[in-house]
Structure 1
Amino acid sequence: MRRGFTFLLLLVFTCLAFGQQNRQFTLDELIPGGKNYARYVPRIAEQYQWHGDELMMLRGDSVFRVDLADPVKKRFLFRFSEIPEEGREGRTVSTVSFDREGSGRLKFFTADGAGVYDLGSKQVISFIGLPENSENREFSPNGLYMAYTRANNLYVIDAAGEEIAISSEENSGIVFGQSVHRNEFGINGGIFWSPDGSKLAFYRMDESMVAQYPIVDISARIATEKPVRYPMAGEKSHEVTIGVYDLKSRQTIYLKTGEPREKYLTNVAWSPDARHIYVAELNREQNHLKMNRYDASTGDFDKTLFEETHPKYVEPENPVLFVRNNPEQFIWQSERDGFNHLYLYHISGRLLKQLTHGEWEVTDLIGFDRKGEQLFFVSTLATPIERHACRVNLKNGKIDRLTAVPGMHTVTVSNSGRYLVTRYTAHDNPGKVDLVDSKKGGAVTLAAARNPFAGISMPAVELGTLKAADGKTDLYYRMVKPANFDPARKYPVVVYVYGGPHSQLVQNRWRYGSGGWETYMAQKGYIVFVMDNRGTSFRGRDFEDVTHRQLGVEEAKDQMCGVEYLKSLPYVDPDRMGIHGWSFGGFMTINMLLRYPDLFRAGVAGGPVTDWSYYEVMYGERYMDTPQENPEGYAETSLLRKADRLKSRLLIIHGDEDPVVVMQHSLQFLKSSIASGRHPDFFIYPGHEHNMIGRDRVHLHEHITRYFDDFCR
């Protein structure tokens, strides 16, 4: 009897294990916004921050100090709740942020405010609650002031609650303190505090001359209009100036950036002494850059330090970085030699040396050591599909690679520069955090994420390379195969594509970067193929700008190399191929269907550009020039002129409030399709902008999947 019971238990556990191993995931478990999505995202509970040369670990609401000599040892310091309640007005602290300088203070954050806490005196130095309807909030370096916008105007508030209006503009076409140039050129904000917190630089954008583009909000019973200023390629663009507000005098001056007014003011940076402001200024043609310096007190132009030109385009994305302890030198990032590298300049504008060289790119700057002799950075030195920490000696130019474990590393460095903390993933690593000793070498793992798919039979993800259409350039791809893959079978294939600038889909990160929808499709019996064509990033200027003035032409040729490879595989069914992409990928989806009309059975294009003349000035003119300058290129890349070539089933999806790729693109393609007797399908997500978010994102992927099931399965 006992033996029979034991056998029954064993049978039950075996069945449960088998069921778990062959588990079929739902979109709710694989797509952001899904009810159970969080269960299958690799997570590391601990956070690590540097406070000088002390490594702090945050776990829940507790703070520990890590023993660098023996990282297993940790000393408890305090809980968030121990920060005095009266100083934070009783609000619950959600997280804290230590400063790398090791000042003895930290910033703490609540759901509706932020403050400064002194670790020595255990006193709250300041606390500022978030003003009602405030946006674009930026705290001063000392945490005693906060700048923010409300509607189109800019304000500053102090810890006592005194609010100062820096602007009081009633014209809705004039905007203060917000991102300009539609977030191109590395711009992600419009407020720039001086290092000492005494002054505030800010963008002022006059877009009153830009046509208002109609977007309709259908949430009300009577739909209302909420137009956006949308400068299309070749049309009138907005004009930007930079203001400087002095907190002591309460006066504002403007930098005298001069004519022409239609140009790009990018990469704003303060000098360490707060006397000057450095601005990378780019002409509207985006082929001539000037690094200009202005007097922060008067706004007067001081000097052009250097210039860069290129026959196609120059794209500054990072402000100057002053060398620690040496205010007469700064670092500039440039692609002038064909790859993004570091250059050391004197403030006179004299180039001292090029610090990094080679057919690889610097992707991020981490910081200097205490003496300012070593600069730490992240690069593609090892391979284009990984990121590793490196350092360069400013005097002798010696470069050391500091991370050895394969993967994509995100790095912070201690104040002295001796220690680094790197958080990284790889195709077989859901996430780890290592402590690296840059002096002795070696790494110690501090924390690791659990594999959320442990014990489950998962679709395999493979990495490979193919030659581009030029016959010489390597292109990286990933292929996701069903878990029970049988090479004797014939499988349908979905090509997922983006293919545009500032992208890289294939990397040596967790499962080679494959997303939940790829997993879902593979478990349904599809092969999913993703490849980065020429025109994407982190491979050098020539790799990217080969697409200049003809977006979609070379990219399609490269993607076709991937398709031909797929067709050569004995387990791929060439009669059941589909293609899907979003935004630039939506453009590429339709582009491929029209350039190769007998290839795919179905395609799904989300938020697609269908004619670059309907896209915005900054991005559009960089890669295509204006329609007036490049009529042949705009004609060749227009999908509207090729709608009569459509033979495949095509589903176009668009958010009805999309301010990035306005819905006119899809509507014009539908109009061209009707005129040519073609019949694409169309689906709208009401109330959504360029991407579907929340629960609707799950619905979106179910809708996409159904389309491929209907026509490719």
Structure 2
Amino acid sequence: MKPLTFAALGSLTLVLALSAGAPLQAQTPAVAAGTPSLEQIFRAQPYRGENAKDAAFSKSGRYLAYLWSPFGEPGSDLWVHDTKTGKTTRITSPQVMAAFDAPEDLARFEKKLAQRNTEYAERQAKEVAQQAYLRGEKVDLSQWETAALDTLKKELADKKAKDDAQKAADKAEADAEKQAMAALEARRAGKPAPAPAAAAAPASAASGADKKTEKADKAEKAEKDKELWELRDELKKKLAREKLKPSDLYPGVAQFVWAHKADELVFQYRGGLYRWKADDKAPTALVSTQRDLRTVAYTADDSGFVYMDEARVLRLSFKQAGVQVVNRELIHPDDEQKKYRIEQTVISEDGRWMSLLARAPLNPPGADGKPATQPVAKQVEIMNYSDRWAAAKKVNREVSDDKRTERPVALYIRAVPTGAEAPRKQPAPVFTANGGDVWFEMSDVAWAKDGSRYAFTTWEREKELLRVYVGKADENAKPEVVLERRGDVGHEVVNVLKPRFTPDGKTLVLTLDEAGWRQPYAIDLATKALRPLMKGDFEAHQVVGLTADSKSMFVLANAGDTAAMNVLRVDLASGATQAVGASGEFHRGAAVSEDGRWVAANAGNWAQRPELKLLAVDGKAAARTLTDSSDKALADVKLLQPERFAFTNRHGDRIEAYAFKPAGWKATDKRPAVVYVYGGPLNDRHIVEVDSFQATAYLFGQYMAAQHGFVTIAVDPRGHSNYGRKFSDANWERAGEPQAEDLEDLVKTLPGWGVDTARVGLNGWSFGGFQTQYTMYTKPDLFAAGIAGAGPTEWENYNSWYSGRTIGKVDRSKPNLRKYSLLPLARNLKKPLLLVHGMQDPNVLYQDTVNVYRELLVSGKESLVELFLDPDGEHALGGAVKPAGWHRKYEAFWLRTLGGATAR
């Protein structure tokens, strides 16, 4: 399944908490001293900004560039750190880029930023006021609507006055024109000009108007009532019109590319390309368009730059005016009507060769030259109830029994023109795939440093066929298969199998799952021999870089701690490793300088918030922290810290978890507990990560321990990623079963945690929502209650890119994944279950919850099941229901079904 991204919550998933606050509503116990309230924990404005991204070193290794903006600022600006002087320079900002933006755009950015900040403040004020009202305090809950309606009245009045003035001006102009035409006609007829029409006299006041009858009073009141609901309708329309869109705010820089030799770069900002050189005071504009531009690379001698628009590859020179078309729009040589569209261009570092990855329509134009009808993806309807009448919106959906519509793909290898030469004939593609009703995936193309070779990989799901190709720099030569694996290659290898050449061009390095763990391997290009570069029971599927001498490799690996990820330097000959970052930190988005002296990565843990750090590989210099992404309001907060633990399941597997224990906890206690479980396998997703402040598992778990004395646990049963293939493949054709076994084994250990095993609840979201239901239905006496959020209950209706990779083998002639449906199991429910879903969810459709809810009702479970819905929410809610609100619902449910900490 798609990883859960709390897009609508900003970065609330990374929030820790705020300082001590006011008590909760009257129906819950007073907030314990030092415990923040839920409206403080899930504040409207995120406490956490965005992490730095796309870090990359200049060729010399002296400069590190990255995209980031300080807390509270929109967009991602370009920053450059000088490793020699220790100075960091902000290259772009709204003020700097104002020199290249239209005044209208600047005004919109400023206005919309103010609107965003106002919305944050108002939403937070409403949350606080509502809780004060529930405590019995005197609060005017209508003050925000009243203020908004007053503002709207003034806007409408101003608009009416403006419209009336315009109408009067238009009428005066029309009258004058009419008088002039009448005078012209009179003059032509030899008659005197007619006199101007007299202005209309104002209507006289009605007699006795000051004496109102009872009937008139009622009519006036009715008119006022009508005005209020009409104004509310107008306000609703206004809010819909003015709803913030991503394009409303200053976007910052989209991407950048360093030069091959010089300490300079080119970056993209809003349809334009800009150049910055070390020591420049400001960037210089190169190309300014309103088109979708993508940076590609500097030319080999750094005298120019190559980029793409929607269809072509283009080159500009820094010294000469004009833009040269390096590659025009592609046409298939065997069928001139079958046009391929360039999707990706990769240029070799020596600048002599380029690869063009292109796709064509599935069906070519007909004999008449008219475009053929292309297959349309399945569309499902999602109902929207926000207007007077419900309306359906359509979203694309490809399920397991759909015929696939994979577009044909072609790979071209072309020599880069050396100058303003005449266009040469387009060569035939060196590799093609026909597309159609198949699952076909292809990696990016990688070039050897000297431009002599290129490499890529393909994965054909139905054939279970993985291939690695290496080709020569030749426009017509077909690439050679240097490695082939059929079956037993790991369900998600293709996502991380990214080939790259060592700088000497002798070896191809790529990630494989040959021994049950995703780790780097090397293919000797002379002998085609394959050898592992690392060994051990750990994941190391992200190769960060290679040193220029081809002797060392840098990888991210969780060796020694599955909840952390460190940067390791690996000797390519011996396999010896050196940890670069601090142990116990999770390193993400790492980059390494080509000289092997520096590594940059976002790194942190539960005690130290993740920030971009510069790490000296030789360890002689202390790590430098380059960003500060959190609100300063967090500085003095006293927080509970989770306790890591692990247990062994019935199969001898080590299962990782963490727990929050409340103050005064003793092993002999009989406390209620809540267990949180989340994802099925996907890339490297799991919950037990030392830098993850996930909203429910971490933040709400911490709150329930501190405020109500619960023991709260987050666990990674089999089925998660980053624990090796045994875990990631665990769900295959037995979805939910291995997790349920592990959860049962966890419950058996809980008496040692001071927990009353008769009062343990289970909670999960997305795949975890499925898992919660599966466990509640198949092991109905194991948990005392459950909360299942946005869970897919019918796998035959889920996106096949995921279900066909992780749940079971599909049959596109029938919905055979129905065998994993939860609907037939729902009748077994014995304990209370809260189903949570966003009704506008395009990922896990709301119908999944509706259908299982129906089955529960049919089975007579009315007293056990309840619904909590967000009418406007998507997969992470965030519509009418905000994080504080849905966790208040959770809090009330757990207290009602599991009791308080002192209950026995």
CA contact (8 A) 2:441 2:494 kept: no
Which of 620, 640, 648 is 1:459 aligned to? Answer: 640
Equivalent residue number for residue 44 of structure 2: 35
Give the whole-Å Cα distance in 2 for the aligned partners of 1:551 and 1:81. 49
Give the whole-Å Cα distance in 1 for the aligned partners of 2:97 and 2:402. 56
Give the whole-Å Cα distance in 2 for the aligned partners of 1:590 and 1:676. 15
CA contact (8 A) 2:268 2:294 kept: no
Instruction: Write the mapping of 1:198-209 to structure 2, written as runs, cut at 5 A.
Output: 200-203=356-359, 206=362, 208=375
Give the whole-Å Cα distance in 2 for the aligned partners of 1:466 and 1:580. 19
Instruction: Write the mapping of 1:70-85 to structure 2, written as runs, cut at 5 A.
Output: 74=87
Q: Which amino acid aligns with 2:46?
A: Y
Give the whole-Å Cα distance in 2 for the aligned partners of 1:694 and 1:29. 19
1:536 corresponds to 2:543: no
Give the whole-Å Cα distance in 1 for the aligned partners of 2:576 and 2:616. 18
Q: Which amino acid aligns with 1:24?
A: T
Aligned residues: 665
Which of 384, 403, 413 is 2:562 aligned to? Answer: 384
CA contact (8 A) 1:376 1:392 kept: yes
SS of equivalent to 2:432:
coil
Instruction: Write the mapping of 1:492-641 to structure 2, written as runs, cut at 5 A.
Output: 492-502=672-682, 503-509=685-691, 515-525=698-708, 526-566=710-750, 568-569=751-752, 571-626=754-809, 637-641=820-824
Which of 284, 293, 296 is 1:124 aligned to? Answer: 284
Equivalent residue number for residue 145 of structure 2: none
The Cα shift of 1:645 comes to: 0.5
Residues 99 and 25 (structure 1), Cα distance of their counterparts in 2 relative to 1, 3 Å cut: farther
Instruction: Write the mapping of 1:661-672 to structure 2, written as runs, cut at 5 A.
Output: 661-672=844-855
Equivalent residue number for residue 182 of structure 1: none
1:481 corresponds to 2:654: no
Superimposed CA distance per residue, residues 323-364 of structure 1 (whole angstroms, 9 cap, x where no aligned partner): 243345321110012111111124578135321122122132
Give the whole-Å Cα distance in 2 for the aligned partners of 1:64 and 1:311. 44
Q: Which amino acid aligns with 1:54?
A: R
Superimposed CA distance per residue, residues 41-62 of structure 1 (whole angstroms, 9 cap, x where no aligned partner): 4999999863332145888689
Q: Which amino acid aligns with 2:40?
A: E
Out of 253-262 and 472-481, give the one that drifted further: 253-262
CA contact (8 A) 1:128 1:158 kept: no
Equivalent residue number for residue 648 of structure 1: 831
Which of 25, 44, 53 is 2:61 aligned to? Answer: 53
Equivalent residue number for residue 443 of structure 2: 267
CA contact (8 A) 2:794 2:823 kept: yes
SS of equivalent to 2:763:
strand
Out of 246-255 and 233-242, give the one that drifted further: 246-255
Residues 466 and 257 (structure 1), Cα distance of their counterparts in 2 relative to 1, 3 Å cut: same
Out of 429-438 and 617-626, give the one that drifted further: 429-438
Give the whole-Å Cα distance in 2 for the aligned partners of 1:50 and 1:434. 13
Superimposed CA distance per residue, residues 96-128 of structure 1 (whole angstroms, 9 cap, x where no aligned partner): 857385632224454665523334777625244
The Cα shift of 1:239 comes to: 1.7
Give the whole-Å Cα distance in 1 for the aligned partners of 2:530 and 2:687. 36
Instruction: Write the mapping of 1:271-310 to structure 2, written as runs, cut at 5 A.
Output: 271-272=447-448, 278-285=455-462, 287-292=464-469, 301-310=478-487
Q: Which amino acid aligns with 1:555?
A: Q
Give the whole-Å Cα distance in 1 for the aligned partners of 2:577 and 2:804. 37
Residues 494 and 478 (structure 1), Cα distance of their counterparts in 2 relative to 1, 3 Å cut: same
Superimposed CA distance per residue, residues 544-586 of structure 1 (whole angstroms, 9 cap, x where no aligned partner): 32332101111110011112222x1463233432221111101
The Cα shift of 1:447 comes to: 5.6
Give the whole-Å Cα distance in 2 for the aligned partners of 1:688 and 1:295. 51
Residues 21 and 124 (structure 1), Cα distance of their counterparts in 2 relative to 1, 3 Å cut: farther
Give the whole-Å Cα distance in 2 for the aligned partners of 1:158 and 1:221. 54
Equivalent residue number for residue 397 of structure 2: 230
Residues 74 and 258 (structure 1), Cα distance of their counterparts in 2 relative to 1, 3 Å cut: closer
SS of equivalent to 1:515:
helix
The Cα shift of 1:467 comes to: 0.6
Residues 193 and 434 (structure 1), Cα distance of their counterparts in 2 relative to 1, 3 Å cut: closer
Which of 608, 611, 625 is 1:429 aligned to? Answer: 608
Equivalent residue number for residue 5 of structure 1: none
CA contact (8 A) 2:446 2:501 kept: no
Give the whole-Å Cα distance in 1 for the aligned partners of 2:886 and 2:471. 49
SS of equivalent to 2:687:
coil
The Cα shift of 1:227 comes to: 2.9
Equivalent residue number for residue 528 of structure 2: 350
Q: Give the structure with the larger strand fraction.
A: 1
Q: Give the structure with the larger helix fraction.
A: 2
The Cα shift of 1:299 comes to: 8.4
Q: Identical aligned pairs, as a percentage?
A: 19
SS of equivalent to 1:475:
strand
Equivalent residue number for residue 257 of structure 1: 433
CA contact (8 A) 1:287 1:310 kept: yes
CA contact (8 A) 1:290 1:306 kept: yes
The Cα shift of 1:463 comes to: 0.7
Q: Which amino acid aligns with 2:738?
A: E
Q: Which amino acid aligns with 2:661?
A: K
Residues 249 and 558 (structure 1), Cα distance of their counterparts in 2 relative to 1, 3 Å cut: farther
The Cα shift of 1:232 comes to: 1.8
CA contact (8 A) 1:106 1:116 kept: yes
Residues 77 and 277 (structure 1), Cα distance of their counterparts in 2 relative to 1, 3 Å cut: closer
Give the whole-Å Cα distance in 1 for the aligned partners of 2:627 and 2:667. 35
The Cα shift of 1:319 comes to: 4.5
CA contact (8 A) 1:267 1:279 kept: yes
- TM superposition score normalised by structure 2: 0.64
Give the whole-Å Cα distance in 2 for the aligned partners of 1:540 and 1:707. 36
Q: Which amino acid aligns with 1:703?
A: K
The Cα shift of 1:37 comes to: 3.2
Superimposed CA distance per residue, residues 50-106 of structure 1 (whole angstroms, 9 cap, x where no aligned partner): 3332145888689675454xx7x5487977689797677788894685738563222
Give the whole-Å Cα distance in 2 for the aligned partners of 1:659 and 1:419. 42
Which of 889, 896, 899 is 1:710 aligned to? Answer: 896
Equivalent residue number for residue 682 of structure 1: 867
The Cα shift of 1:256 comes to: 2.0
Out of 359-368 and 392-401, give the one that drifted further: 392-401
Residues 426 and 398 (structure 1), Cα distance of their counterparts in 2 relative to 1, 3 Å cut: same
Q: Which amino acid aligns with 2:644?
A: L
Give the whole-Å Cα distance in 2 for the aligned partners of 1:355 and 1:552. 34
Residues 395 and 166 (structure 1), Cα distance of their counterparts in 2 relative to 1, 3 Å cut: same
Give the whole-Å Cα distance in 2 for the aligned partners of 1:228 and 1:357. 45
Residues 364 and 328 (structure 1), Cα distance of their counterparts in 2 relative to 1, 3 Å cut: same
Give the whole-Å Cα distance in 2 for the aligned partners of 1:463 and 1:508. 9
CA contact (8 A) 2:502 2:546 kept: yes
The Cα shift of 1:240 comes to: 3.2
SS of equivalent to 2:806:
helix
Greater Cα radius of gyration, structure 1 or 2: 2
Out of 575-584 and 424-433, give the one that drifted further: 424-433
Out of 203-212 and 701-710, give the one that drifted further: 203-212
Q: Which amino acid aligns with 1:355?
A: L
Which structure 2 residue ranges, 5 or more long, are not aligned?
1-19, 22-29, 71-76, 107-249, 299-304, 317-321, 332-337, 363-373, 417-422, 900-904
Which of 145, 149, 157 is 2:307 aligned to? Answer: 145
